[in-house]
Amino acid sequence: MEKTKSYKQFGGFTNYYSHQSKVTGTKMNFAAYLPPKAGPAPVLYWLSGLTCTEENFITKAYAQLFAARTGFIVVAPDTSPRGAGISGEDDSYDLGSGAGFYVDATRGPWAINYKMYSYVTEELRELVEKNLPIDSNRRAISGHSMGGHGALTLGLRNPGLYRSISAFAPICNPMRAPWGKKAFTAYLGANEQDWAKYDATELVKNVKSKTPILIDQGLDDEFLKDQLHTDTFEQACKAAGYPAIIRRREGYDHSYFFISTFLEEHFAFHAEQLSR
């Protein structure tokens, strides 16, 4: 992997990297913050939402301040392959570029390149944990909106990889959301059984390992009713006996103003879980 930019920040460094991905068949970019503390550190993988790149979280959320205080390495990948040469990949904000949905596509023309599930859980993880001073026994995952969906589904499906999960305004039930229906139909086909593998509300019904989950949701979020389905996920957790913490925040919307307000509490949540 190639370091393309580096900035000293809070005693550590915010670095940007690029590498050729075997999984996606494209060049992939990610950002990482390395805190000042020496030695192997716990890692928080952050998955961003629709239209985002590796830049958004690392420049808007004050993550480096909280990471420096807790001693976390933060890794924030891009949200999709770029420049795959697929017809229409740049035509819509909610499909194609910037909208990988953290699934492994099985339908053409997306199936060759759009493998964000495997990219995050396998290739990116192995790459950064080989090249950065990460304690591979202490991983957490978090994200926002589409990335919150990604954090929940990757975390629920891989309890051995991630010891804690958090999300801001996640798409909790993408099978019932317009964003999810559009993406899943294109990437996975029409069979809803295939969709369920990437739907947190469906996954939580049968998961055996109870990885700790924290969710924050703004009540002034314009996408809450139609796209996010927080209540549906909470009901599924209660029915399954899954002790997820879901907090509703009066007056907050879907933006990074909301994320930055409560992100420090998410770092504290992950730090507590990874210290056990």
- Give catalytic residue positions: 145, 221, 254
* Token pair recorded at residue 81: 């392959």
CA 132 to chain centre: 19
Q: How far apart are CA 172 and CA 145, in angstroms?
A: 9
Torsion (CA) 27, 172, 252, 274 in degrees, nearest 10: -70
* Token pair recorded at residue 209: 């390992």
* Token pair recorded at residue 7: 């900035």
